[in-house]
Amino acid sequence: MDYIHLNDLEFYGFHGALPEETKLGQIFRVTITLACDLKKAGETDNLEETVNYAEVFELCKGIVEGKPYLLIEAVAEKVATSILQEYAEKVSGCRIQLVKPNPPIVGHYASVAVDITRGTL
């Protein structure tokens, strides 16, 4: 199996269970791993034979910067489901890591995150 990685995509969204999160918004970082066969793309150097990661970026951006969700779990699930639906012929599975660097939690920590895998990686 081959993989495409989109690392540390950064977006501004309004997800969270606390009122200040949905009013002020915050940065979210997303890393996406796509499981797909890249052999033909490598042999032909043809964009049509691979997954266009610029399109995947825009799909993810539309979700993270779009409709607010209470939970980052729901955001990650929507990203994964949308990728698998949109690229069903080319992507057999995906892994989504969604990081919330600065949630309004009192204490010392680097970030909070969810990491989900859907399909076959």
What pLDDT digit, counting tens, does each position of 84-112 carry?
A: 999 999 999 999 999 999 888 888 888 99
Q: How many CB atoms lie within 10 A of CB 28?
A: 24
- Tell me what pLDDT residue 103 has: 86
φ, ψ for residue 112, nearest 5 deg: -120, 150
- Tell me what pLDDT residue 105 has: 83
- Tell me what pLDDT residue 36 has: 97
Give me the residues paired with residue 2 across strands: 36
Torsion of CA 73, 13, 87, 97, to 10 degrees: -50
CATH architecture of the region 2-119: 2-Layer Sandwich (3.30)
- Tell me what pLDDT residue 106 has: 87
Quick check: is 100 catalytic? yes
pLDDT digits 0-9 by tens, 4-41: 999 999 999 999 999 999 999 999 999 999 999 999 99
For tokens 């209470």, name the residue. Answer: 70
Out of 23, 39, 61, 100, the active site residue is: 100
> What size, in residues, is the chain?
121
Provide the residue type at 111 as one letter.
S
